[in-house]
Structure 1
């Protein structure tokens, strides 16, 4: 069996972030309403207890979670090895109505669920703790800029090498074969070649820490990745989600 865990959610009038074991698996800003299922296996590194965290945040430009905000979810389990067969539904949660008379910069919910997966991943667990790094923002920005430069230079083999750790984790947790894994990066490269150009990293981008301080991400104030490309002809935007870490014994950050 290849268990495939998905969060089945419905959201309205909020920005939210879903994390598994302090690894962000999905971030979305919903001005109206939205409902879908999103895989959470990329945050599951071994069988056993898993912690799911949901943060409800104000919509971009607002200071408090909207009184119209709604969010509810459950977890559905499928077996990828048998034609994506539905196996079971795990308990979920629904946020109570938001009190309009109170100020909420964030609302949170955490729950524990059990997962049984046929893999164990050791990726960042022994990495350097970034919480005490004095030049953290500069190092994170430098790592993002390095990836941006590879795209600008059309150095696609080096781009693939830079993202190899990330893609290996994704391939393992999502049960991708080599062809499917290769297609993920090739799709991005095709977009780069079709006219998408890297935007300058925003000066107001903020570093977010995850995985008990072992992983960092550079994000815009609205929660989106700081690494963005624009197709000047169509105005279409392409956002590349990145996380970086500092392996033990290394002096420069790497993508994970």
Structure 2
């Protein structure tokens, strides 16, 4: 396995040892508001938000963990019809569907100050005439079952994290071979979680957590809190990995990452990893999706886990 020096006991110290502080610590946030649709939002082709439950929704999301180097960053969003939901039935996107996204930058050292807007996007409208011959506007994707758009913004970061420039483009592989190889890896990782192999859980979690905490300039207390929260769930006697089924192979990071994602319209699991568990703390069933991505460095043939 990768990261052989990492264990359950030393991972917090190892993660914190990578974090550096700066006089100016840029934090980038994405704020979205959507209406009459479901959505997925990606930054640099990595999923940062999904909503398949609320037909109107909004939130602010930190996105530094998807910014691997200074320069142009790409935001992509995908809109889907809500179908039958909460008394509505919209099999397609409708005239009133829209998505608004704003990207802001602020200094992590000055959390009480408002950030500055550096990019924004609003889904375009088109003009049409209604039955009474009056001109009105509607969402340009009205009547469609899928809509996708992208825009870019510029970011300047002081930290250094490992991206995927030196990873192979897995879209170039034979799909059947990659699919089989990936499923084998998923079953190995599922066994690590199910067998409560805590040292190996730490090793396969390390790369992703390291990039997150470096990019957010996190303190040791927060890192420890996150790790203890995860371990609390993993160590529950009721923690039970679920069957790997009803999945599809999905590429991220411009083909450098690949995952088996839920192939379901069930809003409870849609848009999530096929690697997941159920557990009960005594207050009812909860779910935990183990969002692990896989990549292969150039010159190598075996998967590494992100």
Task: Return the TM-score normalized by structure 1.
Answer: 0.88
CA shift in 2, pair 1:167/1:94, >3 Å: same
Q: How far does residue 182 in structure 1 lie from its aligned partner after superposition?
A: 3.9
Change in CA separation of 1:144 and 1:63 when aligned onto 2, cut-off 3 Å: farther
Cα deviation, residue 122, structure 1: 3.2
Counterpart residue number, 2:129: none
2:249 counterpart of 1:199? no
* Correspondence for 1:44: 67
Indicate conservation of the 8 Å contact 1:63/1:105, yes or no. no
Alpha-carbon distance, 1:185 to partner: 3.1
Query: Are 2:30 and 2:61, in contact at CA under 8 Å, matched by a contact in 1?
Result: yes
Match of 1:255 in 2: 305
Taking the aligned partners of 1:72 and 1:196, their CA distance within structure 2 comes to: 38
How many residue pairs match? The answer is: 254
Mapping 1:67-86, distance limit 5 Å: 67=94, 69-83=97-111, 85-86=113-114
Considering only aligned residues, what root-mean-square deviation do their CA atoms show, in Å? 2.4
Pairing of 1:55-204 with structure 2 (within 5 A): 55-59=78-82, 65-67=92-94, 69-83=97-111, 85-95=113-123, 96=125, 97-98=138-139, 102=143, 104-134=144-174, 135-194=177-236, 195-202=238-245, 204=246
One of 36, 39, 51 as aligned partner of 1:13: 36
Cα deviation for residue 245 of structure 1 reads 0.6
**1:141 positional shift:** 2.3
Q: Does the residue aligned with 1:159 lie in a helix, a strand or coil?
A: helix
The 2-side partners of 1:144 and 1:13 are apart by: 35
Larger mean CA deviation between 158-167 and 241-250 belongs to 241-250
Deviates more, 1:89-98 or 1:29-38: 89-98
User: Cα deviation per residue 1:10-56 (whole Å; 9 max; x = unaligned)?
Assistant: 12332222122222222221433222101111211111111111111
- CA separation of 1:70/1:30 partners in 2, compared to 1, >3 Å: closer, same or farther? farther
Shift of 1:5: 0.9
Structure 2 CA distance, aligned partners of 1:85 and 1:191?
35
Q: Which blocks of at least 5 consecutive residues in structure 1 are unaligned?
A: none
Do the aligned partners of residues 85 and 148 (structure 1) sit closer, same or farther apart at CA in structure 2, a change above 3 Å counting? farther
Q: Structure 1 CA distance, aligned partners of 2:146 and 2:100?
A: 16
1:204-236 Cα offsets, whole Å, 9 max, x none, are 211111222111121112322112211266222
- Which deviates more from structure 2 when the two are superposed, residues 134-143 or residues 212-221? 134-143
TM-score by length of 2: 0.75
Structure 2 counterpart of 1:215 = 257
- CA 9–173 in structure 1, closer or farther in 2 if over 3 Å, else same: same
Q: Measure the CA separation in 2 of the matches of 1:180 and 1:48.
A: 28
Give me the whole-angstrom Cα distance separating, in 2, the residues matched to 1:65 and 1:92. 25
Runs of 4+, deviation exceeding 6 Å: 60-63
Unaligned stretches of 5+ in structure 2?
1-23, 126-137, 264-269
The higher radius of gyration belongs to: 2
Contact 1:79 1:86 in 2 (8 A): no
Residue 177 to residue 146, structure 1, CA distance change in 2 (3 Å) = farther
